[in-house]
């Protein structure tokens, strides 16, 4: 098969790497890809949001399957356009993608089907939203309805911060029309997990879960980022057979069924961001794609042929598929450019990538080739992943290799999947 992967991050490198192992693959393209994907696939100079350009390319090159990594092209209707041209594509339609691209749509759908989630009120009017917030308790969560590059959610500790957030979204319109409508949501206390399934209409594959680390600093301090690391599976307090059954029956199946009734069949990955609370798991958000950096650990654990699984899902044959996840643990540590998520330098030569242990894979994001040398070209530069019998062994292996990769100003968190984190989690859970 001739396959096109859309996107340019470490998530898309991981997807392409896994598809690259399929005996059914004849030729792999990545648009636009990165210097990591150029090692084994052909990068195409079409941006991931250029739906027309991608369609032209797919027709011209006789692409048999297109796989969409990020949410932006899904919101733009890439699946609708490819399907209208008779092309097979993995990812939901524009209508299905609303589970991520409109938080008010998602909230209404999940509430209507009795899926556990934070209570929320929806506002189109700034004055009404402010009055509601002032009359309520804090902390409170303010969310832009539309896509905001992961920055549209503010957990406000005070009434003043909540009003400031509403003003930024609704008056200053810092995310444009994404913030014209907002959700004011109940604050949920607990620990977060990310749960993934392949979905084909009302059918849901077996689940896989991961934990990611969003803050820049050790101990979950500092600014929010695109993700600084992940591990899978989560500790047993957060993910065990009982919780998995609950998430499947009370969350994933009802939402897949609701989407199937609401729209053209949802076909792709469904990603539930959940808070594990004293009252059980509750939905924080849904996404219509794999997470980054969660994909980098989850795909290390996938035992199936990913290309086969994606074709079956896109063709509406998910019932033929039994997705199996390796029992071992995967850990991912992101190496960033110093200064990220604020300003940082690029063009720094990277060394050590040819000296990685067996079982370790470094997925590229912000890298490029310059005069035959691999150099930095972004904030999050690489995701170093490992697979081992225990999370402790996987963590040790990941960091042993992270320490070999060097460039000027490199930065990474030292506590990804660390025992301290387990300690904190267990203490919090026990303390309740
Ligand atoms: P989202 O963009 O929806 O993933 O939200 C970003 C982050 O905000 C989440 O990963 C949580 O850490 C936090 N968050 C979102 N909603 C809530 C909530 N209702 N209660 C507590 N934290 C939340
Ligand atoms: N890691 C969270 C996300 O990809 O949205």
SS3 44: coil
Question: How far apart are the CA of 292 and the centre of ligand 2, in A?
Answer: 5
pTM for this structure? Answer: 0.94
In b/e form, how buried is each residue of 285-300, taking b as 16+ CB within 10 angstroms?
A: bbbbbbbbbbbbbbbb
> Any idea which ligand is nearest the CA of 291?
2
User: In which residue ranges of the chain is pLDDT below 70?
Assistant: 263, 420-432
- Amino acid 179: pLDDT: 87
- Amino acid 285: pLDDT: 95
> Any idea which ligand is nearest the CA of 9?
2
The pairs formed by 388-395 with CB atoms below 8 angstroms and a separation of 24 or more are: 388/328, 388/329, 388/359, 389/328, 389/329, 390/329, 391/231, 391/235, 391/329, 391/331, 391/417, 392/419, 393/329, 394/231, 394/328, 394/329, 394/330, 394/331, 395/231, 395/331
Output the six-digit token pair for 147. Answer: 């896509």
In ligand 2, which atom is closest to the CA atom of 212?
1
Pocket lining: 12 vs ligand 2, CB cutoff 6 Å: no
Domains of the chain, CATH where assigned = 2-93 (3.40.50.20), 125-180 (3.30.1490.20), 191-320 (3.30.470.20), 329-430 (3.90.600.10)
Output the six-digit token pair for 216. Answer: 């820049």
In ligand 2, which atom is closest to the CA atom of 290?
4
Q: Smallest Cα–Cα separation from 193: which of 283, 299, 111?
A: 283
pLDDT in tens, 313-342: 999 999 988 999 999 999 999 999 999 999
pLDDT in tens, 241-252: 999 999 999 999
Question: How far apart are the CA of 284 and the centre of ligand 1, in A?
Answer: 6
Pocket lining: 212 vs ligand 2, CB cutoff 6 Å: yes
């Amino acid at each position: 098969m001739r396959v096109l992967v859309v996107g340019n991050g470490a998530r898309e490198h991981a997807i392409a790497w896994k598809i690259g192992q399929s005996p059914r693959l004849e030729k792999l393209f990545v648009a636009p890809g990165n210097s990591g994907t150029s090692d084994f696939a052909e990068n195409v100079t079409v941006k991931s949001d250029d739906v027309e350009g991608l369609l032209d390319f797919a027709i011209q090159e006789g692409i048999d399957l297109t796989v969409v990594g990020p949410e932006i092209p899904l919101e733009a209707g890439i699946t609708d356009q490819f399907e209208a041209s008779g092309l097979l594509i993995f990812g939901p339609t524009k209508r299905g993608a609303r589970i991520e691209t409109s938080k008010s749509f998602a909230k209404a759908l999940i509430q209507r089907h009795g899926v556990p989630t934070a209570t929320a009120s929806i506002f189109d009017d700034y004055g009404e939203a402010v009055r509601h917030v002032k009359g309520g308790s804090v902390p409170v969560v303010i969310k832009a309805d539309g896509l905001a590059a992961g920055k549209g959610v503010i957990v406000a500790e005070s009434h003043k911060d909540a009003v400031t957030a509403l003003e930024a979204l609704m008056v200053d319109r810092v995310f444009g029309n994404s913030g014209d409508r907002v959700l004011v949501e109940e604050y949920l206390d607990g620990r977060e997990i990310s749960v993934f399934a392949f979905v084909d209409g009302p059918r849901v594959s077996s689940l896989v879960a991961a934990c990611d680390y969003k803050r820049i600093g050790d101990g979950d301090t500092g600014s929010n980022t695109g993700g600084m690391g992940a591990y899978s599976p989560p500790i047993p307090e957060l993910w065990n057979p009982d919780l998995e059954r609950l998430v499947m029956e009370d969350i994933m199946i009802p939402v897949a069924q609701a989407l199937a009734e609401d729209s053209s069949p949802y076909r792709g990955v469904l990603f539930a961001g959940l808070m594990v609370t004293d009252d059980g798991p509750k939905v924080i958000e849904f996404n219509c794609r794999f997470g980054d950096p969660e994909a980098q650990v989850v795909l290390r654990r996938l035992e199936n042929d990913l290309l086969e699984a994606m074709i079956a899902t896109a063709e509406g044959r998910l019932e033929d598929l039994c997705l199996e996840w390796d029992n071992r643990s995967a850990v991912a540590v992101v190496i960033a450019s110093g200064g990220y998520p604020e300003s940082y330098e690029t063009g720094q030569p990277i060394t050590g990538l040819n000296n990685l242990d067996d079982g370790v894979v470094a997925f590229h994001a912000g890298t490029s080739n310059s005069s035959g040398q691999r150099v930095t070209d972004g904030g999050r530069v690489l995701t170093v992943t490992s697979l081992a019998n225990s999370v402790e062994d996987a963590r040790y292996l990941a960091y042993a290799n992270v320490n070999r990769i060097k460039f000027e100003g490199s930065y990474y968190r030292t506590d990804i999947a660390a025992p301290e984190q387990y300690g904190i989690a267990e203490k919090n859970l026990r303390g309740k």
